[in-house]
Homo-oligomer: A and B are copies of this chain.
């Protein structure tokens, strides 16, 4: 996909200084630019690069005054960083719009319906009675079971597995090989030591604007629904167990796990490799530090927690600092003890 500098300037409401007919086919950091690339300069720390960059065009803030000659065409805008982001988004949007139609072979079950401008990649599988909205992109090797519904504008990447009865909202993105709606991990112990499988009959509901990374797993509910609320962002290799609910706009980083029947509030931030036990409730705006293990409900909003078991971040840091100083503390303890021994020894002397 190619744009001219003139088209880009129009898109960004910018002013051009230099050749407006140059063709742009890629974006790059200003220090790594090549001919055909567009870059941006927002932070004056990087200004030196604008005089040497190989990029064909650079987006700059409207108050930028070059101190030397600049080879690249400049596009002056209100805010260079924001403008660059808008440009990248537009590029992505156009790119994704390119994929439409059906590649063969692909499979679609009876009574399943797709909206306009959808893409179905080769080897994609759609079960029975599915309802797929407009502009939905289903990449190669994606699997949708029966009775799945997907809202308009969502993108299902290669190898994603979506089990029966899953409901996915609008403008969601699910990255490769993520599994939505596998059975919750529920087994009833039997008297002979074996375990009997507890049937998992619920489903997963994912609301609008949710993003889910690669190789993540979200289990269906035993009964009812596992629910991922609007705007939630989930990273790679995350585990969301059965009957969990993740509140609006909460962010969960890679390799974290939320155990069964736990409710996470809105606007929470859960860092990487965190573990959360089952059957608890976490208040809105809670922040949980990387590798923490949360074992009980958090009722107060806005706390920052860390450690395993997780507690107040500052208290945790203070304790960790003292753990590091334990050898020193023990020395001090020994020291006191030896003084006491001495004084014990002296006591008979004192007593009389």
Please tell me if A49 contacts chain B, counting CB pairs below 8 Å: no
> How far is A124 from B296 in the complex, measured between Cα atoms in Å?
44
Query: What distance in Å separates the Cβ of A279 from its nearest Cβ neighbour in chain B?
Result: 13
Q: List 6 A-B contacts (CB under 8 A).
A: A85-B188, A141-B159, A175-B182, A185-B235, A332-B333, A336-B337
Stretch of A7-15, A63-71, A129-137, A317-325 that contacts chain B: A317-325
Q: Are B237 and A217 in contact (CB-based, < 8 A)? A: yes
Please tell me if A313 contacts chain B, counting CB pairs below 8 Å: no
Within 8 A of B (CB), among A199-241: 199, 201, 209, 211, 213-217, 219, 223-224, 231, 233, 235-237, 239, 241
Closest to A269 in B: B189
Interface residues on A, range: 35 or more
**Contact A213 B141, CB 8 Å, known A91-B201, A193-B249, A224-B32:** no
Partner of A185, one of B185, B213, B332: B213
Contact with B along A114-154 (1 / 0, CB 8 A): 00000001110100000000000001110100000000000
Query: Most B CB atoms within 10 A — which of A27, A107, A177, A231?
Result: A177
> How far is A251 from B216 in the complex, measured between Cα atoms in Å?
21
Q: Are A122 and B121 in contact (CB-based, < 8 A)? A: no
Kindly list chain B residues whose C-beta atoms are within 8 Å of the C-beta of A323: 319, 323, 326
Contact with B along A156-171 (1 / 0, CB 8 A): 0111010100000000
Query: Most B CB atoms within 10 A — which of A255, A266, A315?
Result: A255
Kindly list chain B residues whose C-beta atoms are within 8 Å of the C-beta of A173: 183, 197
Please tell me if A273 contacts chain B, counting CB pairs below 8 Å: yes
